[in-house]
Amino acid sequence: MPCRCSSMPCRRRACGHRTSRPPLRLDAMTWNHPDIMDTFRTCRRCLYTTGHSLGLTLDREGICSGCRIHEEKDQLDWAARWRSLEQLVAPYRSKSGRTYDCIVPVSGAQDSHFIVHLVKERLGLNPLLVNYNKYFNTELGIHNLANLRTRFNP
């Protein structure tokens, strides 16, 4: 039945228009419903669907965008990329070490420790660590932020 907002049948009911078709029930018996199968397609490699929250898309071979990006990671020359990063940050490194070379936002999660380690220890920069999370700090996050401060301060 055509929708009032377009000449196409209203599948999503985004316009608020009710069609004569009953609503879909997502249980085991209706999973093979044509509307569901048209909406969700499965990657041939990892079995994620196109309904994934990251918005994966499938190419002509039926491989999702996540798998294709993972393939690219295996083909990168990581040593060359690291040298390129070192050259990029070299002009910003202070000679005296008394001033901050960059600003690094931190949350207190594990990735904060990893990034600060890379910036300070491997790249030799003096980062200003910044955190603004007034309402959502957990006890563990506050502990991790204190650990960052004591571990990476001279």
12-54 confidence digits (pLDDT tens): 555 555 555 555 454 444 444 555 555 678 889 888 888 877 7
Range of the structural domain that residue 108 is part of: 77-152
Whether residue 112 sits in one domain with residue 55 = no
Whether residue 51 sits in one domain with residue 87 = no
Whether residue 85 sits in one domain with residue 63 = no
Q: How many CB atoms lie within 10 A of CB 17?
A: 13
Whether residue 106 sits in one domain with residue 45 = no
Residue 83: predicted pLDDT = 96
Whether residue 105 sits in one domain with residue 85 = yes
Surface-to-core class of residue 104, CB atoms within 10 Å of its CB (0-12 exposed, 13-18 middle, 19+ buried): buried
**Does residue 89 sit within a domain?**
yes
Among 30-34, 40-44, 143-147, 149-153, the least confident range: 30-34
103 and 130 Cβ atoms separated by less than 8 Å: yes
Report the C-alpha gap between 67 and 56 in whole angstroms.
Answer: 10
pLDDT, the chain, mean:
78
